Amino acid sequence: MPRIALYPGSFDPVTNGHLDVVRHAVTLCDRLIVAVAIHHGKKSLFSTEERLEMLQAVCAPIAQKVGCAFDCTTYDNLTVTAAQATGATIMIRGLRDGTDLDYEMQLAGMNEAMAPDVHTVFVPASAAVRPITATLVRQIAQMGGDFSAFVPPSVVAKLKAKFAS
């Protein structure tokens, strides 16, 4: 039975922190599905299609390098429901700090109650990417700061294009 993992998030934009989680996740499963959450009430900087395109471009080579199958998808329901719909029995969650851990433990407990067959695996962020958040990257980009150390080069270009004026 193949080990299928779902890594959910908004990925607006995909950051080096997300890639760090992907690098670890692809060693834990046979197939990794990165799932872009669609929140209809939330305004995203990048469209769903743009986020899927960025994720495919930067994550697929990481998975391919270790022989892990890779897919991107979207979902607009409960994350645990999305995991079940894709056949995932592993849910990957990245942790930057203790605040993340407290929140993620609550989610993991609720998800386990709703879907005992989906197991949450926490992936701690490497020290170099621990402070990176997509929100901070967007703010730095919007204010004209240098964010190039926090996102892949292809994402740097897309962010610059978004804020060029």
135 in a known ligand binding site: yes
13 in a known ligand binding site: no
52 in a known ligand binding site: no
SS (H, E, C) the chain: CCCEEEEEECCCCCCHHHHHHHHHHCCCCCEEEEEEECCCCCCCCCCHHHHHHHHHHHHHHHHHHHCCEEEEEEECCCHHHHHHHHCCCEEEEEECCHHHHHHHHHHHHHHHHHCCCCEEEEEECCHHHCCCCHHHHHHHHHCCCCCCCCCCHHHHHHHHHHHCC
State pTM to two decimals: 0.95
79 in a known ligand binding site: yes
Looking at residue 95, its pLDDT comes to 97
53 in a known ligand binding site: no
- Domains, the chain, in order of start with CATH, read 4-131 (3.40.50.620)
94 in a known ligand binding site: yes
104 in a known ligand binding site: yes
89 in a known ligand binding site: no
Task: Flag whether pLDDT at 36 surpasses 80.
Answer: yes
Looking at residue 164, its pLDDT comes to 84
87 in a known ligand binding site: no
Looking at residue 70, its pLDDT comes to 98
pLDDT in tens, 52-98: 999 999 999 999 999 999 999 999 999 999 999 999 999 999 999 99
37 in a known ligand binding site: no
120 in a known ligand binding site: no
> Above pLDDT 70, what percent of the chain?
99
